[in-house]
Structure 1
Amino acid sequence: MLRFAPSPTGDMHIGNLRVALFNYIVSKQRKEELIIRIEDTDKDRNIEGKDQEILDILGVFGIEYSQVIYQSQNMRYHSAMALQLLHELKAFNCFCSTDWLDKKRQEAKESKVAYRYDDACASLPDELVIDNENPFTVRIRKPMEAIVVKDYIKGEIKFEANEIDSFIIMRQDKRPMYNFACAVDDMISDVSLIIRGEDHMSNTPKQILIREALGYTKKIEYAHLPIILNESGKKMSKRDDASSVKWLLEEGYLPSAIANYLILMGNKPPKEIFHLAEAIEWFDLKNISKSPARFDINMLKHINREHIKMLEPKELSRYVGFADEEIGELAKIYLEESNTTRDLKAKIASIFADKEIPDEIKESAQIIIKAIKDAPYFEEYDEFKTYIMKESGLKGKNFFRPLRLVLTGAEHGPDISLVYKYIKNYLREIVK
């Protein structure tokens, strides 16, 4: 079993989508199920509707899964297992106040040492441990020996026992902390491999400690993906527009192209342009670079253009607002100067929109428009051009500049003869 575990707290980040794609690919390769676990226990940060938005985006990218689980539905298991750890003395109640802990953290900061909880409540007398009058958290006891993580990408990583303190697993309001809920849920779902971002690396030994304390003996494999950097070489954040999958889709990047690029980043594929189904044939976690991958919007534009080229004309026409193969073919002509379906849609829209004609050629444009309205149908551009030129009495730049503006709404662009091939059936609509 593999799992993708997003939180419904904001737009899906491309790093999260990359994790989802890799989990999907490996689940297909291993013929194991993929579940989606919505980690919604942090009620204060959850945003209504974001869970469905996540599922919708996965659907857009063709990421299939067997079921959706909401972490909050497992809270009874979290509570039961925390109680088990308390009964077995593998965890203890902690009555330290937030103010006291903040004071200890500040002292550690001033002493320039890493803060570690000092186990002040680890050996309290029984009458205090069972005290229900004062608020308390539950802490798991710190490890006695090092914890070793074997990672497909990072290799073997050792966490010494003194690097992990007796951390909180249940809050005062008895809601589970992230690491505890995550570790328990992975046990319940019988997860075999966890693929996630390397920002979770520090969580991994804690989750291993929790599972071992609960007597879970199955070894879970790990693959921690390097972070994605922005074009300035800094960690990509929500301030970077391109970090949002929703933004990329709205800008006109095809799902197939985004997936292609995210799989390509820091990887060694057999070819540059491919579809998700192809990646299942050759993808290998061990080929992912250990170093951070830098997001290159120009590379994505290149890949997007190649994927647009592969679209059937009728499918492309829908992206630009039509359902006509001819318009799809027309859009492909504009790929020389466009990289996204949004750009292409704007190019096509300008052909059918009301035209803004400069004053100095307005009279010529009106003459050409009248000639087009009165003209018979011409299959070939040369015949059309000859007729309109004769009827308008215009020639040279006094003819071709207004003609281009009247037909396309732009001063520059593809050769008019190429454009004419696909708009000849729409001429009267264009010059309405």
Structure 2
Amino acid sequence: MARSPSHRPPRAVVAGGGVGGLTAAVALHQRGWEVTVLERAGSLAPVGAGIGLAPNAQRALDIVGLGDRVRELSAWQGDGGLRDPAGRWLSRTSSDAARKRFGGPLVLLHRAALVDILTAALPAGTVRTGAPAALADAGDGHRPAVVTAPDGELEADLVVAADGIGSAMRQTVFPGHPGPRYSGYTTWRVVVPAPDRSFTPHETWGRRALWGTHPLKDGTVYAYAAAVTPAGGHADDDERAELLRRFGDWHDPVPAIIRAAEPGGVLRHDVHHMAEPLPAYHHGRVALLGDAAHAMQPTLGQGGNQAVEDAIVLAHHVGGGGDVVRRLPAYTADRLPRTMAVVRQATRTGRTALLGGAGAVAVRNALVRGISRLGPGIVLRGFDGIADWRPPGRTYAAGAERTTAPEAEPRTEPRTEPR
């Protein structure tokens, strides 16, 4: 017997097949939603070489039973820390200190590996590539939302706008908002085979520039760089040559990693962040998450982590469907204060890391050295309130089921303090 329309599963359309959109799709699917993911690109091959998942995002993924799969890819063992371009250590920390403080490791992995883990948790046919999505109607308590796709219109009880930093859906529902603004610097990212010499994970701060080098589980290295530069710039020859000009005289293994890159294999992107908060992270039946809602500088490595948190909290609040419009204000109440606090902290860290004056850099380095002498836990304090976050709802981690908090009734008043 066919199911009556009143008993059909709730329907969600997710615009964007990145980490946040796919996590939302998995979480909603596990709560009984019928989910369609519309991805503009022709494939799910992710833009971006690597991603770091801190314990907060891992705990969010525990909700959908995927946290242990991510932790299996952890490669950071032993020491790490912050250096200057000559190779001198400014501060040291360790993977053990991070585990003790935040309850888990930092996991660096290929974005493609994370995308594979997420898509494997979805039914076949959930993701449609080459399918740009446009919001035709945000819906309300009396009518569904409507999304336009290449093969026609889709009605939805919920639309998840996970369409990135240039989100067209954000512009549709909040047309007066200025959107993200240029942060004043650009970034480069690359994954290369590990050089012969061994090294510990590190980030290096120079004058108006920084570099990061991190080993991955498969024997490759994820490296990233940033430098203060006008927006829209590109190298006249290629970006590997540009990295050699800027970082070729920095400490080992930086030059070797640059030379190991293919000339066309270096990704370059200007950095933008959401300096002015959105009025809300929802409108009608539309919920925004990730860069579409709160683009942030990468200096804390939290952009993807916060998108994963968004996805899990959104699924928690909308539950198995029902009165979605009434439930979405609780999502904004949970996420807007927290994510904008992280945006502001990342902005402050960016200013510190990319100082330009010689005197200011010398003072910064001396302060970092002095603070680090108090112990590795001191260096990690900057992630208090971020990496120790715990998701709402029941956690379905491999090997154990535990309850972190009962499902709450939707709130209509936002929190005023970050959690």
TM-score computed with the length of structure 1 as normaliser = 0.21
Which has the larger Rg? 1
More strand by share: 2
Higher RCO, Cα 8 Å, sep 6+: 2
More helix by share: 1
TM-score computed with the length of structure 2 as normaliser = 0.21
